[in-house]
């Protein structure tokens, strides 16, 4: 990223090669529209090139995945007839995460850890991340009590983190 901040196109190209499938995959899974996914992928990377200082360190994949998700939510929101504001907002000024533990985690390890989660935990987590829906809607779609959905999300995320920390150790 230091070289990208120095306006090195070759470094940016390497970054793009390494992460464009992640960004595109998130967009495609959330939007189910290959052209929209292309547009979103280009927008995310062009924004990164225009403002590389937006990334402050930690796990770059996790960061750009969040950026991609947020932009996909924008698209969904623009498409949706539902009123603005139904989707969650990001945490504000205290969102300075120190994720050095997870900084080196690679995609395959994450996918392996996710696959290892019980379905009842993985399903609401993936539905929440990619579906762009609230936990209330998750509860309605899955026929699960609202409190149970929250508990399973928390248990699943805790288990996911522990598994990743163990694999990073």
Partner 1 sequence: MNGSSEHDEALLDSVAAYALGTLSEAEARDVAAHVATCAECTREYHDLRGAADLVGYAAETPEYAPNELQSARMKSAIMRHVRAAADVPPVTVPAPGSTPAPPPASPGAPVATLPVRSRAPWLAYLAAAACLAVAFLSTFQLSNVRAQHEQDVQQLTLLRAQVDQQEVAANEARGHLALTQSIVADLLAPGAQRFPVPRGLVARSNGRIVIALQHLPALPKGKVYQAWTLRRGAKAVAPSITFTPDTSGLLIVELPGSATDIAAVALSVEPTGGSKAPTTTPAFVRPLS
Which residues between 56 and 85 bind partner 1 (CB under 8 A)?
Answer: 56-59, 61-63, 65-71, 73-74, 77-78, 85
Does the footprint of partner 1 cover residue 164 (CB under 8 A)? yes
Closer residue to partner 1, CB minimum distance, 78 or 169: 78
Q: Rounded to the nearest whole angstrom, what is the least distance from the CB of residue 117 to partner 1 in the complex?
A: 10
- Mark residues 87-126: x for contact with partner 1 by CB under 8 A, - for none: xxxxxxxxxxxxx-xx--x-x--xx--x----------xx
The mark string for 126-155 relative to partner 1 (x by CB under 8 A, - otherwise) is x-xxx--xxxx-x--------x-xxx-xx-
Angle ∠(113,118,121) on CA atoms, nearest 5: 95
The answer for residues whose C-beta is within 8 angstroms of residue 132's C-beta and 6 or more apart is 30, 69, 72, 73, 76, 87
Distances (CA, A) of 16 to 11, 105, 111: 9, 18, 20
Considering only residues 7 to 66 of the shown chain, the ones binding partner 1 according to CB under 8 A are 7-9, 12-13, 16-17, 20-22, 24-26, 28-30, 34-35, 37-39, 41-43, 45-47, 49-59, 61-63, 65-66
Report H helices in 80-134.
107-116, 119-131
> In which element (H, E) is residue 67 found?
helix 60-79
């Amino acid at each position: 990223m230091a070289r990208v901040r120095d306006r090195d196109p070759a470094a940016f190209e390497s970054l793009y090669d390494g992460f464009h499938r992640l960004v595109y995959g998130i967009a495609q899974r959330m939007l189910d529209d290959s052209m929209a996914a292309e547009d979103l992928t280009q927008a995310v990377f062009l924004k990164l090139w225009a403002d590389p200082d937006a990334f402050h360190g930690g796990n770059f994949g996790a960061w750009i995945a969040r950026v991609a998700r947020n932009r996909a939510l924008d698209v969904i929101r623009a498409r949706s007839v539902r009123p603005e504001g139904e989707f969650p907002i990001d945490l504000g000024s205290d969102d300075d995460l120190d994720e050095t533990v997870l900084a080196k985690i690679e995609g395959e390890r994450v996918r392996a850890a996710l696959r290892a989660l019980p379905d009842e935990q993985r399903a609401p987590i993936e539905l929440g991340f990619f579906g762009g829906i609230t936990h209330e809607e998750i509860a309605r779609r899955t026929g699960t009590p609202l409190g149970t959905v929250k508990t399973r999300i928390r248990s699943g995320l805790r288990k996911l983190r522990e598994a990743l920390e163990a694999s990073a150790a």
